[in-house]
Structure 1
Amino acid sequence: MTYRILVDENTSPRVAELLRGKGHEAAHVSEALEVGATDQEIVTYASERGYSVLTHDDDFLLSEYTRTVPVLYYSDDTLDTYEIADRVSMVIQYIPDPDDLPPVTNLSTWVD
């Protein structure tokens, strides 16, 4: 299966660009939905279209969201866009089928 990554508004759109450059299917929330979309709208959109959500927003760690869509979460807001994209790519490399993702994947633990 192919990963589809929906990058949340709190993450630079550049991350979606970098992921696409690495051959992954990725969209930024600002491209897919209206600016200011609610967390629920993001989760619904992602779930209906088979996306995992990449975010720095810990609201997405609530079980009401993680039951619906896999979350790729990073807590370190000092990570640059390249590091975030590299960590997502590493997850994809080691877990090639998105159906095998746990409800939350903490990108802080995925380091070279």
Structure 2
Amino acid sequence: MGYRILVDENTSPRVAETLRGRGHDAIHIHDALKEGADDRSISKYAHEHRYVILTHDDDFLLPEYRKDIAIFYYSDDTLTSYEIADRVDQVTQYVPDPSNLPAITNLGEWEG
């Protein structure tokens, strides 16, 4: 069983599609909430639906936005959709249970 992943709007919807194809329950924020949803709404949605947030938005590194939600964060905006999905997949292989994730997982540290 895969992770539940909420892909933030600063990340291509193709990442969510790719992750779904790899067995994850992944949804892009535009399919879950209205376009331009604020970070607090995104956090609330992720918490209520038990999603890990995948984002390039460093606001989610601040405790007031992430609360008790796990974050997959990448700072490298040159990564392709497939590279991002590959890194998420690597994390899920090493940490099969999302409840064992740290608060923030930097995907830049998971180079294959």
**Once the two structures are superposed, what CA deviation does each residue of 1:66-91 show, in whole Å capped at 9, x if it has no partner?**
33211000000000000000000110
**Distance (whole Å) between structure 1 residues aligned to residue 37 and residue 28 of structure 2:** 12
* Cα shift at 1:103: 0.4
- State the match for 1:54 in structure 2: 54
Percent identity among equivalent residues?
Answer: 62
Aligned to 2:72, the other structure's residue is in SS state strand
Alpha-carbon distance in structure 2 between the residues aligned to 1:65 and 1:40: 6
CA contact (8 A) 2:2 2:23 kept: no
User: Which residue in the other structure is 1:29 paired with?
Assistant: 29
1:2 shift after superposition: 4.5
The aligned runs of 1:72-87 (5 Å cut-off) are: 72-87=72-87
Q: Tell me the TM-score normalised to structure 1 length.
A: 0.97
Question: How many residues get paired?
Answer: 112
Residue 42 of structure 1 aligns with which residue? Answer: 42
Asked whether 1:89 is paired with 2:89, we answer yes
Write out the 4+ residue segments of structure 1 that deviate beyond 4 Å after TM superposition: none
RMSD: 1.0
**SS across alignment from 2:65:** helix
User: Structure 2 regions of 5+ residues with no counterpart?
Assistant: none
